[in-house]
Amino acid sequence: MKNPHFQLKINLPIVLAVLASMAICTGGYAQNIAQWHGVNRDGQYNETSLLNKWKDGGPELLWATEGIGKGYAAPSVTRDKIFINGEIDTTSYLFAYDLKGKLLWKVANGKEFYGNGFSSQFPGARSTPTVVDNLVYSCSGKGRIICCDANTGTLKWSLDMVKDFDGYLTEFGNAESLLPDDNKVYCNPGGPTTKVAALDRFTGKTIWTSEAFKDTSSLCSPILINLPARKILVAFSRHYLFALDCKNGETLWKYELTGYEAEGDHCNTPVHYKGNIYFVSGDRTGQGAFRLELSPDGTGIREVWTNPQINNIFGNFIMLDDHLFTTIRGNYLKSLEINRGTVADSIKVSTGGLIFGDNKFICYGNNGDLSLITYDKGKMAVSSTFKVEKGTLQHFAHPVVANGIMYVRHGNVLMAYKIG
Residue 15 lies in a domain: no
Q: How far apart are CA 173 and CA 168, in angstroms?
A: 9
Whether 260 has a pLDDT exceeding 80, the answer reads no
117: CATH = 2.130.10.10
Q: In the prediction, which pLDDT does 265 show?
A: 64
Please count the structural domains in the chain.
1
Contacting residues for 116 by C-beta, under 8 A, at least 6 apart: none
Q: In the prediction, which pLDDT does 4 show?
A: 39
Residue 193 lies in a domain: yes
- Over residues 138-146, the mean pLDDT reads 98
Q: In the prediction, which pLDDT does 6 show?
A: 41
Residue 28 lies in a domain: yes
Residue 91 lies in a domain: yes
Q: In the prediction, which pLDDT does 27 show?
A: 44
Kindly report, residue by residue over 190-234, the tens digit of the pLDDT. Answer: 999 999 999 999 999 999 999 998 888 888 999 999 999 999 999
Residue 8 lies in a domain: no
Residue 12 lies in a domain: no
Domain that holds residue 265: 22-418
Kindly report, residue by residue over 262-300, the tens digit of the pLDDT. Answer: 655 689 999 999 999 999 988 777 899 999 999 999 999
Whether 357 has a pLDDT exceeding 60, the answer reads yes
**What does each C-alpha distance from 320 to 102, 218, 374, 377 come to in angstroms?**
36, 26, 14, 11
Q: In the prediction, which pLDDT does 135 show?
A: 98
Whether 112 has a pLDDT exceeding 60, the answer reads yes
Whether 24 has a pLDDT exceeding 50, the answer reads no
Q: In the prediction, which pLDDT does 12 show?
A: 35
Q: In the prediction, which pLDDT does 284 show?
A: 74
Kindly report, residue by residue over 305-329, the tens digit of the pLDDT. Answer: 999 999 998 999 999 999 999 999 8
Please tell me which residue, 271 or 115, carries the higher pLDDT value: 271
What is the average pLDDT score of the chain? 91
Q: In the prediction, which pLDDT does 213 show?
A: 85
Residue 137 lies in a domain: yes
Q: Which long-range contacts (CB under 8 A, 24 or more apart) does 239-243 make?
A: 239/215, 240/213, 240/215, 241/266, 241/270, 241/277, 241/279, 241/292, 242/212, 242/213, 243/298, 243/301
Residue 164 lies in a domain: yes
Q: In the prediction, which pLDDT does 13 show?
A: 36
Kindly report, residue by residue over 68-110, the tens digit of the pLDDT. Answer: 999 999 999 999 999 999 999 999 999 999 999 999 999 999 9
